[in-house]
Amino acid sequence: MKAKECEGLGFATKVIHVEQVHDSEYGSMITPIYQTASYCHGSVEEAAEKFAHKLPGFHPIYSRSGNPTNRALELKIAAIEGGEDAVTAASGMGAIGSVLIGFLQAGDHAIFDDTLYGGTDHIVKHNLPALGIQTSIVNLRDFDALKKAIRPNTKLVYFETPNNPVLTLNDVAAIKATVGKDIKVVVDGTFAPPPLQYVLKLGADVVVHSLTKYYNGHGDAIGGIVVGSKADIALVRNNAMTKINGCPLSPFNSFLILRGMKTMALRMNQCCHNAQALAEYLVSNEYIKKVNYPGLTTHPQYDLAVKQMTKGLYGGMISFELKDDINGLSSFAAGKKLVNGLKIATIATSLGDPDTLISHPASMTHAFVAPTDRLASGITDGLVRMSVGLEDVEDLINDFKAVFATFNK
């Protein structure tokens, strides 16, 4: 079904059927894997027409510029997100890098939120300045600070919502209204894809996702995507994705992600239900100082979550802080003990898998970061991050109870 035919359909129906490609030659119900590096031509004249873009089809040289399996995924996600077009990348970082290279050049200025994924943070602080691109890091919850940061050469504002790993939210509509139509608003929506939130409908110009996470949902494929208007996607595809970065998504990974999306509605409902129940349990635990989850009424931006996200679907990501002294244990030691002691949760740094994944940033992903810098990002010694999976939530809660019982010994 084409995108227009799916207008008005619910998410569960749409994510299965929109832009579904059936093989016309053999009748394959599932989109085939077009595992080809390049494309052949019937004649020199036909090739010349394709090189001149006078004939439809994929790029006449290499599959990095276009592939039927990848295109099926791009059109499907563009329709789901409410965008005009999309372009895939080999990873989430490939998508982020392609957006920044596509939109920015030497002499331009871009504004970034003060809480970013580590890979993005590195690009902002090191790679972009090396290319002559000016950057400002701003708390985008402070609209006055955002206004003051805008310069005549500001081209782009970039942020996540919810943020990794402390799960603060950014108000997409308010940020767009503050910067105006001439500055691109780019949102990393990896933590809360549809049906949790639709950032393009909220006012963003472009949304990027790590497809590795919830879109794929099975922990077996890496990918990224950029979604937006036809003009913006053409800019990213032609100026960054193919001509410069050359980081196309593998057709096999596209196949896996298309397969994973068939169950996306069920997976998102279940992980959100589990995360809500687990967050409510953790709030009441005597050893926990603070729980970060947008679905809790105690979250400082709960009203924004209700306005910006789908009711009852506030994500599968939770982070929480352990108390500073637990029967002689420091929060750092307690965090490690908790993570090591859980039987069901897997110690891993990704998210969106069927399995519940857990990490202790201070001793794992952010161990190399200076303690003062960690604290500035809200990453305390006792912070624990979880991607809540699809298990029976009672089992997850009982697993926590069993480990916390050992804190008394």
Summarised one tens digit per residue, pLDDT across range 142-184 is: 999 999 999 999 999 999 999 988 999 999 999 999 999 999 9
Q: Among candidates 375, 268, 351, 279, which has minimal Cα distance to 320?
A: 279
Q: Is the Cβ–Cβ distance between 64 and 248 less than 8 Å?
A: yes
Q: What is the pLDDT of residue 366?
A: 76
Active-site position among 39, 117, 287, 293: 117
Vertex 367 angle, CA 362 and 372, to 5°: 75
Question: What length does the chain have?
Answer: 409
Q: Is 76 a catalytic residue?
A: no
Start-to-end CA span in the chain (Å): 60
Pairing between β-strand 85-89 and β-strand 357-359 as defined by DSSP bridges: unpaired
Q: Which of 213, 237, 336, 374 is catalytic?
A: 213
Q: For this structure, is 151 an active site residue?
A: no
> Which residue of the set 114, 171, 188, 381 is catalytic?
188
- Residue type at position 306: V
* Secondary structure letter of residue 30 according to DSSP: S
Q: Does residue 60 have a cis peptide bond before it, meaning omega lies within 30 degrees of 0?
A: no
- Domains of the chain from N-terminus onward: 9-261 (3.40.640.10), 266-408 (3.90.1150.10)
Report which residue type is found at 341: G
pLDDT at residue 95, as a whole number: 95
Look up 336 and say whether it is catalytic: no
331: helix, strand or coil: helix
303 is a catalytic site residue: no
Q: Which two tokens stand for residue 33?
A: 């894997």
Give me the residues of the chain with pLDDT under 50, please: none
Whether the full predicted model's pTM is greater than 0.75, yes or no, is yes
Catalytic residue among 14, 50, 64, 184: 64
